[in-house]
Amino acid sequence: MYDVKSIINATVITPPSIPRRLGPVAAGVLLVTFCTGCAAPLHAGQGLSANDSLNTPDAVFELWRQEWTLNLDGSIVYHEKKHLRLNSARTYRAFGDPRIAYNKDTDQVEVLGARTKMADGTYVELADYSTVEVAPDASAGWPAFGSITQKVMVIGGIEPGCVLETEHKITTKAGTRPYLAADLRIDNHYPVRARTITVTVPRGKALSPFVSGLPEDGYVYTFEQNADGSTTHRWDFAGLDGQPNEPRAVPWQQSGVRLAFTTAPDADTWIKQRLAMIDEAANESPLLSKLAQDWTKDENTEADKLNALQGKLAGSFNFVNFDVAWRPAKSRLASDVINSSYGLPAESAAVLLALARAAGIPVQPALLVADHVWDDKAPQVAMVSAYVVAYHGPDGLEIWHPHNGRIRRDKHWAGYTLPGVEGSKLVRTRLPAWTNAADSRCTVTGNVTITDDGKYTGKLSIKTVGLFVSPKDLETADGQKRRVRGIVNHLLPSAKIADFTLKSLTNDAFIVEVEIESSEPLDKLHDCYQLELAETSPALADVPVPLAHSRRLTPARLVGSFDERIDLVITWPEAWNVEAIPGGVEQVDGKWGTVTQTVTPTDTGLKLQRHIRVTKRDLPPADLVALRKPLNELRGDHTRTLLLLP
């Protein structure tokens, strides 16, 4: 059982971000004191005793420097130096073979140093034969991205207490990137003793940065006007504690320390430029026109045609996705992308855009950006969650994702702003998140009858609303049956679907009547028939809650708030004896919602009622642990097992 008193509650400080837009003529130096209360760093050569090992992190970033320099000709020089102490073999896989990703066509890489400082202070240098070049898994096999390469340094001499010292420089050709930009997580899973970010831009070029996750006195910012007219911005961070990697954690952009910067213009201008790039890439071609005609020949309305185009594209196109830092600055033309049958997110959006226009549908390119990621102060590609197509139909605005279909509300992302273009005006429309439990309900009611031969039949009524409804997946009878089977089997794992009747299907509701049966007799435990309810309930299959541990250090983010109700009557032959019935779960209430299960015996059966209601999407550690206890009780054998002796 879980002891709520044992919760360790971490304090998360999330002050407002600190916006600055500094032009080339700014001057002066702003100095802010380092944060206090930081653990002392381990010194080079310091060994680890048995007593120290229990309190020592597996790894420590002792020094981490990153420098960006934008030259007058548009070329970019990136310089990184890192000293990383490895205190445990658990870190070897993650850090033992450092990788440098670059584009062979546009980047020149210099490895300035790679060696291991042993616990006794001696060094093991990187051997000449220990550097290899490989294609990253995400981009390998796609010819258009064949120039993306990783330089892998297989470093020797790794042992507990050693320090990996690496340093490299990447020079990117002029004209490769339109802007200098980065969105950085400053803290890490492991402690960061000292981290420095330096950005130098030439005369006449403004830099727009922001910091979040630390108060102004939690780091040092320095601004310097150089003799050649360039300006240098420097941020020094020290003593950042390691942040635990916990399941369903709130995104690091909200919970961690973040620094983002760009030389791009204001957000609206940047968005318009990005949308214009997709619009220009959505060119015409004979193949696109033919596909548009073939895929929509059986459809009459524009909405149905767009639905058909997206469905066919999703089923026949290879969607490629990898780190935005590796992606080309400009997308390929849709005509080239469709011929190759693979493409990046922006390229696949251009293909859907071109197909829709070839079918005569008035559509526009659009961007989806998550609220917790996007910030107008430093707009950049890394902050775009998805590239989509906007269609203004008879029922209003429709948002279509090339791979996932129509997006009506936030289901997989954190809440959106949609920039679209109406003429020359930029429009932002919010897609709300699932934050109201009443909007998302999953209800299963009905009866199950166990017969003399140990088999059972039953009739269930299923109603799902809100985030539990995915209209795209329910367009066909097969899709509906899969959904029904998924819900039923998360209540009765061995049940078969004999038949079902669709009562209602809308964008927000799916209601069916289901007839179930068991093809085989119930399993036996000794001489007793055993009926077990599923370990995971229907709602929790769609809204996973981390249940594995009794302690939590950070808040958890769920897909959304929800309400689940199970009302099931189970009957069996009158002559049978009851050896065990599912136990109840005493009602537990909190700010997060409520959980309860009651089991009421009858003459030849029982009535089981379960209610799970979670009213928060973001759960603080104490709330999550309070919710875990009753949910884990519901997963236990004693609350879901019925034993009957014929």
For 133-152, how does the pLDDT look when each residue is reduced to its tens digit (9 = 90+)?
Answer: 999 999 999 999 999 999 99
Q: Are 448 and 436 spatial neighbours (Cβ–Cβ below 8 Å)? A: no
Could you tell me how far CA 466 lies from the centroid of its own chain? 20
Tell me the pTM. Answer: 0.86
Domain with CATH 2.60.40.3140 in the chain: 4-263
Does the structure show a pLDDT above 60 at 28?
no
> How many of the other CB atoms lie within 10 Å of CB of 224?
14
Mapping DSSP to helix (H, G, I), strand (E, B) and coil, where does residue 144 land?
helix
Domain with CATH 3.10.620.30 in the chain: 268-431
Tell me, what amino acid is at 462? I
Write the CATH number of the domain with boundaries 437-645.
2.60.120.1130
Outline where 250-332 has alpha helix (H): 252-255, 267-281, 286-296, 302-316
Q: Are 612 and 590 spatial neighbours (Cβ–Cβ below 8 Å)? A: no
**pLDDT class of 262 with cuts at 50, 70, 90:** very high
Q: Are 61 and 28 spatial neighbours (Cβ–Cβ below 8 Å)? A: no
Collect all residues with Cβ–Cβ distance below 8 Å to 528 and sequence separation of at least 6.
Answer: 579, 643, 644, 645
Q: How far apart are CA 247 and CA 57, in angstroms?
A: 20
Could you tell me how far CA 156 lies from the centroid of its own chain? 34
Fold of 268-431: C8orf32 fold (3.10.620)
pLDDT at 471: 87
For 276-303, how does the pLDDT look when each residue is reduced to its tens digit (9 = 90+)?
Answer: 999 999 999 999 999 999 999 999 999 9
For 621-644, how does the pLDDT look when each residue is reduced to its tens digit (9 = 90+)?
Answer: 999 999 999 999 999 999 999 999
Does the structure show a pLDDT above 90 at 447?
yes
Does the structure show a pLDDT above 50 at 11?
no
Q: How far apart are CA 643 and CA 646, in angstroms?
A: 10
**Look-up: residue for tokens 């030259």?**
71
pLDDT at 40: 32
Does the structure show a pLDDT above 50 at 498?
yes
Q: Radius of gyration (Cα) for the chain, nearest Å?
A: 29
Q: How far apart are CA 21 and CA 208, in angstroms?
A: 5
> How many of the other CB atoms lie within 10 Å of CB of 30?
10
> What number is the average pLDDT over the span 357-373?
94
Q: Would you say domain 4-263 falls under CATH 2.60.40.3140? A: yes
C-alpha angle 14-18-19 in degrees, rounded to nearest 5: 140
Q: Residue 34: which of 214, 167, 177 has the closest Cα?
A: 214
For 513-531, how does the pLDDT look when each residue is reduced to its tens digit (9 = 90+)?
Answer: 999 999 899 999 989 999 9
